C-alpha cells in the first residue's frame, strides 16, 4: 500500500489505516455497467472531476451509494450526488 506521496507505508501505518476503514465501515467500490452509465452522465456535466481516474472514482461511489474518503476534496466538491468525507 502506498501513501499519498507514493512512498510505501510501514506495516504499522497500513494497520492503522485499515483499522480506520473498518471502524467506519468503508468497503471497496466495484465498477460495473451501472457505474459506467453514471460515469457517462458525469463526464457530460460541468461538475465532473478534472481527471479520468477521479471521475471513475466518483462514479463508483455514487453508484454504490458510498461516501468518498479523500483529502483531495477540492476536485470533488462540485460532483452532484457524491458524499465526501475528509479523514
Please write down the HEC assignment for all residues of the chain: CECCCCCECCHHHHHHHHHHHHHCCCCCCCCCHHHHHHHHHHHCCCCCCCCHHHHHHHHHHHHHCCCEECCCHHHCCCCCCCCEECC
Q: Which residues contact 60 (CB under 8 A, 6 or more apart)?
A: 29, 30, 31, 35, 38
Q: Tell whether 67 is covered by a domain.
A: yes
- Over residues 62-83, mean pLDDT: 90
pTM for the model stands at 0.62
Looking at the structure of the chain, the number of domains it has is: 1
Average pLDDT, the chain: 79
* pLDDT for residue 29: 57
* pLDDT for residue 31: 63
* pLDDT for residue 83: 94
Residue 30 banded pLDDT, cuts 50, 70, 90: low
CATH number for the domain spanning 69: value is 3.40.50.1010
Amino acid at each position: 500500500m502506498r501513501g499519498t506521496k507514493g512512498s510505501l507505508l510501514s506495516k504499522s501505518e497500513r494497520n492503522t489505516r485499515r483499522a480506520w476503514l473498518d471502524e467506519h465501515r468503508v468497503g471497496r467500490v466495484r465498477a460495473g455497467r451501472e457505474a459506467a452509465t453514471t460515469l457517462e452522465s458525469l463526464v457530460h456535466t460541468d461538475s465532473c472531476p478534472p481527471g479520468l481516474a477521479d471521475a471513475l472514482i466518483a462514479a463508483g461511489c455514487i453508484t454504490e451509494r458510498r461516501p468518498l474518503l479523500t483529502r483531495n476534496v477540492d476536485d470533488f466538491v462540485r460532483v452532484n450526488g457524491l458524499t465526501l468525507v475528509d479523514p
